[in-house]
């Protein structure tokens, strides 16, 4: 009896592979058969791979890790951007720039340049420049936004990458393998599944199929992030409880932000009072000092004899 997931995969056309003349023999274990010269992918194997991938994604995202979505072919660009944005992850939908992973320190410089131009636009710097300079910066910003718009906030390398059409994105796959970054990829009948850590056999050409699998990946990430946020909230409650317990045992009440501000204001007032007392004392000494000097001069002055 087919499961609900297999029915959804069937409706999305995930089972359609390439023509029998274009195939990779390593995909044999994922092929159910052929019809009209087209290979049919075994959706039971696809379901097993999806469940395995979901467990992996739940594990890493529940620890706060990130995933990079990669899909530069025309059928996948819009889908990848939407699903990555929905689950709060990074994405690359334009041309994959060589060294994006292996030379990430250099890529970060280009991202910083994009951020600098955005700051110049917001803080009014553009108004002080000539039209020609502004046009040049706008053109540079548009180019950087096109290439790096999906990874602007990516401060470090992702824990895993999700790739649509691993054969087309071979550069991204090679870079991830070199850095030992786990790869999740949709592998069609013409792909090499041995290069992928978590292969998902399926149709990587139809938009409906790509959307179905990408949505499944995004839902798994969202569930993992919910677990992570729940863990953080519980940790916050635990820390607060431990502080309260410690205050009861020691008799010392932990300072709240409001009480800290009050304490700082009280200390400042005390310091001002001490400074005023010191100034008053110095003024009184200065006022009495000439009187003492005059008294000494009178005592030293010889008296006139009558």
Model pLDDT for residues 93-115, shown as the tens digit of each residue = 988 988 999 999 899 999 999 98
Give per-residue pLDDT as tens, 144-187.
Answer: 988 898 999 998 999 999 999 999 999 999 999 999 999 999 99
Between residues 159 and 302, the one the model is more confident about: 159
Q: What is the pLDDT of residue 233?
A: 83
Q: What is the pLDDT of residue 303?
A: 52
Return the top range by mean pLDDT from 171-175, 250-254, 274-278. 171-175
**For residues 230-249, average pLDDT:** 62
Give per-residue pLDDT as tens, 206-234.
Answer: 999 999 999 999 999 999 999 998 888 88
Long-range CB contacts (within 8 A, 24+) of 15-18: 15/40, 15/41, 15/42, 15/43, 15/46, 15/202, 15/203, 16/40, 16/41, 16/203, 16/206, 16/209, 17/41, 17/188, 17/189, 17/190, 17/203, 18/188, 18/189, 18/190
Q: What is the DSSP letter of 191?
A: S
Give per-residue pLDDT as tens, 70-80.
Answer: 999 999 999 99
258 pLDDT higher than 60 = no
Between residues 188 and 245, the one the model is more confident about: 188
**For residues 35-63, average pLDDT:** 93
Find out whether 266 and 274 touch, Cβ atoms under 8 Å: no
Q: What is the pLDDT of residue 230?
A: 87
55 pLDDT higher than 60 = yes
CB neighbourhood size of 23 (10 A): 18
Counting residues of the chain whose pLDDT is more than 90, the rounded percentage is 49
């Amino acid at each position: 009896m087919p499961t609900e997931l297999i029915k959804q995969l069937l409706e999305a056309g995930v089972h359609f592979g390439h023509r029998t003349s274009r195939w990779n023999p390593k995909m044999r274990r994922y092929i159910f058969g052929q019809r009209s010269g087209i290979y049919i992918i075994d959706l039971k194997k696809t379901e097993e791979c999806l469940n395995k991938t979901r467990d992996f994604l739940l594990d890493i995202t529940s620890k706060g890790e990130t995933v990079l979505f990669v899909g530069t072919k025309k059928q996948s660009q819009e889908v990848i951007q939407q699903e990555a944005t929905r689950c709060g992850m990074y994405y690359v939908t334009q041309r994959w720039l060589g060294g994006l992973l292996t030379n990430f320190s250099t890529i970060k410089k280009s991202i910083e340049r994009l951020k600098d131009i955005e700051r110049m636009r917001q803080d009014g710097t553009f108004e002080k420049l000539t039209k020609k300079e502004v046009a040049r910066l706008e053109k540079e910003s548009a180019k950087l936004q096109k290439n790096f718009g999906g990874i602007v906030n990516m401060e470090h390398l992702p824990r895993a990458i999700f790739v649509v059409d691993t054969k087309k994105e071979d550069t991204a796959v090679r870079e991830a393998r070199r850095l030992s970054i786990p790869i999740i990829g949709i592998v069609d009948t013409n792909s090499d599944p041995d290069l992928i850590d978590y292969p998902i056999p399926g149709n990587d050409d139809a938009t409906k199929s790509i959307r179905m699998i990408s949505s499944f990946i995004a839902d798994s990430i969202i569930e993992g992030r919910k677990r992570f946020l729940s863990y953080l909230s519980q940790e916050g409650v635990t820390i607060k409880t431990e502080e309260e317990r410690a205050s009861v045992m020691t008799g010392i009440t932990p300072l709240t932000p409001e009480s800290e501000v009050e304490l700082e204001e009280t200390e400042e007032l005390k310091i001002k009072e001490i400074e005023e007392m010191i100034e008053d004392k110095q003024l009184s000494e200065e006022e009495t000092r000439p009187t003492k000097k005059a008294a000494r001069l009178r005592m030293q002055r010889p008296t006139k004899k009558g």
